[in-house]
């Protein structure tokens, strides 16, 4: 079965680039995108109620969003027993240590600064796609 990836990001261009990067890396996925934190929580709730065993294999969340911020969405996910072991990668345009520490303390699998160049986006997605193979595996540290 093709893995489901959920991305919660208020920038549709970022979501399009991430989805395109999965395709570029030859990782077939079912991609769901929510445009803000509130829509993300609603989407995850719908998936939980309808999914049976078909749950996201990876969740990617933007840190800074309107209505509900990324860390609050992450806390919601980590309080859902069926989503507890789903890897969650936090993406941000900022490398603020306080934000990074908060997300990691809430249970994020990884906190990454959004890449700006297309090649870097492809590389970033190639790394986080490794969670689709082994959700418990730590990712290599970027060089």
Q: What is the pLDDT of residue 95?
A: 84
Confidence of residue 51 (pLDDT cuts 50, 70, 90): low
Does the structure show a pLDDT above 60 at 75? yes
Q: Which CATH superfamily includes the segment(s) 3-133?
A: Response regulator (3.40.50.2300)
**Separation CA 69–CA 37 (nearest Å):** 6
Contacts of 140 (CB under 8 A, 6+ apart): 127
Q: Over range 59-82, report the average pLDDT.
A: 94
């Amino acid at each position: 079965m093709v893995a489901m990836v959920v991305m919660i990001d208020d920038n549709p261009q970022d979501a399009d680039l991430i989805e395109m990067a999965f395709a570029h890396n030859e990782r077939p996925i079912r991609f769901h995108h929510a445009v803000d934190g509130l829509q993300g929580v609603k989407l995850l709730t719908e998936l939980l109620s309808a999914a049976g065993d078909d749950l996201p294999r990876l969740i990617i969340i933007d840190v800074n969003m309107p209505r509900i911020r990324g860390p609050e969405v992450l806390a919601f996910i980590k309080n859902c027993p069926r989503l507890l072991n789903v890897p969650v990668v936090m993406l941000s345009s900022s490398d603020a240590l306080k934000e990074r520490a908060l997300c990691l303390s809430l249970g994020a699998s990884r906190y990454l600064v959004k890449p700006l160049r297309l090649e870097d986006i492809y590389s970033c997605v190639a790394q986080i796609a490794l969670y689709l193979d082994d959700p418990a595996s730590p990712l290599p540290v970027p060089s």
